[in-house]
Chains A and B, each alone.
Chain A
Amino acid sequence: METLNEWAFVGVFFAIAWVFPALPIIGAWLVRPKKPNALKKQTYESGVETVGDTWVQFRVQYYIYGLVFLIFDVEMIFLFPWAVAYERLDWFAYGAGFLFIFLLTDALIYAWRKRALEWV
């Protein structure tokens, strides 16, 4: 129960944290002047008239970074329990962790060689 009590704190925090930034924004909404017009509401793109749809097609490179990150993310998650229990483990555990990280490095080297990490 002790840990759940700690998490109750986090839960209340999640419920309340939104209030702090929301209050001044609502306050500003109450007191600020509201005189919008079409010119004011134009998007600012360096003073040039907006052309076409905003939600344009993006390059595949962003997606590749996302993929590489996702895979590293999952790998690192596996390493956290290993790191926590490390003190109580033996050389075998070091070997297991070493092999795991070595395979991770393999993936990194492959991505590097295939120039997937370049910003093109």
Chain B
Amino acid sequence: MGLTGGDVLTTCVDFINTLAPCLVRAGWHGDIANLLSLLLGVVIVATVPLLTVILLIWIERKFAARIQDRIGPNRVGPYGLLQSLADALKMLTKEDITPTGADRVLFNLAPIITFATVVLIWAIIPFTPLHIGADLSIGILYFVAVGSIGAVKVMIGGWSSNNKYALLGAFRTIALIVSYEVPMILALLVPVLMAGSMGMQDLTHAQGGMWFIVMSPLAAIIFFIANLAETGRSPFDLLEAESELIAGYHIEYSGFKFGMFMAGEFMQVFTVAVLTAVLFLGGWWGPFVDQVPALGFIWLGLKTAVVYLFMLLIRNTVPRFRIDQVMNINWKFMVPLSIVLILLQSFLLRLVDVLGLRPAPELANDLLANLPQTLVLLAGNLVLGAIFLLLLQRHGRTLRKADEALAAVREPAPAGGMAEA
């Protein structure tokens, strides 16, 4: 709670950060004032994603509709803006069925955990230079830790439903989530290497001169893809493979409990977009943010919107992978790539240091001073990316040749055979 000193008036202007001292001055007991300011902070931080997600569902449906040459929701409210509220009301009054033999307590617990774990991540999102829920020293690890509870919620949901398809879907999803956590965490090491800290505000401050997406595009791409897989959306929506698993681990859920799973998914996508913006697109950095810190909220929102729309575009245009393909992409492409990337990035950073290309501390936020080291890092990333893409291309060619050879063995001469018949 950064600001100190000044009279009551100046203390109480920025009330989000300084509610506690402000209340103490007004004659409240210190502990109660502290608790109240904590509660207010929590409610504010948690409400931001909750309110946004109502709007996001509308945006997502409109976006998908445009891609599929439809109009999308347009009945409730202007441009169908109130559609989500109508849906919420509908779900509220729907009958909710708990299947026979389900584990009642766990069955009800799963949707709650799903939603809560996503909300919890928002505690460490830096909205502006001054406003952050909790600027933990282990910030980014907090995200990884809370995210890893994701596998538990899937397990509870799938296991408690007493449905074979739900259980199978849950196990597949867990295998997927757990596998993609490896390249995700490895990719997160790169910003930590460059910023020398795990705190979210430190990570954002370190991008004053240059965004991390320019200094290490590969890390940004790996992080983005891995998170796409973690959210379980197309092209990684294997848990919802209708033709084989019906609907994944939440088949048996109906009414608002299903709604919680859906809202949790929407919110997770949004949260991932925000995190990508914070970690790689400079977070709240933008013009005039030094003078008016509150502007940072708008810059962060704009960057998040770009990432979010890109995720929607991918979701609506890319076909679904097979489960074995998904696992192969992860373990045989993304994991090796991210391991080599860390070795390369740490080597280049040390090299930049030795060559004296790193900007002086007082010039850290200067674009020109950052250019030399950025160019070195960018070049290294591009070369590495090119090498891995070439390897992938070669591997793809061998696979195709093997497939063709196999097909030739099965049907010796398709054209000739047809002619004889």
Asked if A pairs with B, the answer is: yes
Residues of A within 8 A of B (CB): 3, 5-10, 12-14, 16-18, 20-22, 24-25, 27-29, 31-36, 38, 40-46, 50, 54-56, 58, 62, 65-66, 68-69, 72-73, 76, 79-80, 83-88, 91, 94, 97-98, 101, 104-105, 108, 111-112, 117-119
Known contacts A69-B178, A112-B331; is-contact A13 B349 (Cβ 8 Å): no
Among the listed A17, A24, A83, which residue makes an inter-chain contact with B120, where contact means beta carbons less than 8 Å apart? A17
Among the listed A7, A21, A98, A119, which residue makes an inter-chain contact with B111, where contact means beta carbons less than 8 Å apart? A21
Pairwise interchain contact A119-B323, C-beta atoms closer than 8 A: yes
Pairwise interchain contact B252-A38, C-beta atoms closer than 8 A: no
Which residues in A have their C-beta under 8 angstroms from that of B167? 54-56
Pairwise interchain contact B186-A76, C-beta atoms closer than 8 A: yes
- Asked whether any CB of chain A lies closer than 8 Å to the CB of B367, the reply is no
- Complex CA gap A3/B114 in Å reads 27
- Complex CA gap A88/B399 in Å reads 46
B275 to chain A, nearest CB (A): 17
Pairwise interchain contact B182-A69, C-beta atoms closer than 8 A: yes
Pairwise interchain contact B120-A13, C-beta atoms closer than 8 A: yes
Question: Which chain B residues in 143-180 approach chain A with CB under 8 Å?
Answer: 159, 161-165, 167, 171, 174-175, 178-179
Pairwise interchain contact A84-B163, C-beta atoms closer than 8 A: no
Could you count the A-B residue pairs with CB atoms below 8 Å apart for me: how many are there? 205
- Secondary structure type dominating chain A contacts: helix
Known interface pairs A5-B1, A46-B246; 12 further A-B residue pairs with C-beta atoms within 8 A, sorted by A's residue number: A20-B119, A21-B111, A21-B114, A24-B259, A32-B96, A41-B100, A44-B165, A50-B164, A76-B186, A80-B192, A84-B198, A101-B339
Q: Give a binary string over B101-137; 1 marks a CB under 8 Å from any A CB, 0 the rest.
A: 1000000100110111101100100000000011111
Which residues in B have their C-beta under 8 angstroms from that of A119? 323-324, 327-328
Which residues in B have their C-beta under 8 angstroms from that of A9? 38, 41-42, 123, 133-134
Pairwise interchain contact B95-A32, C-beta atoms closer than 8 A: yes
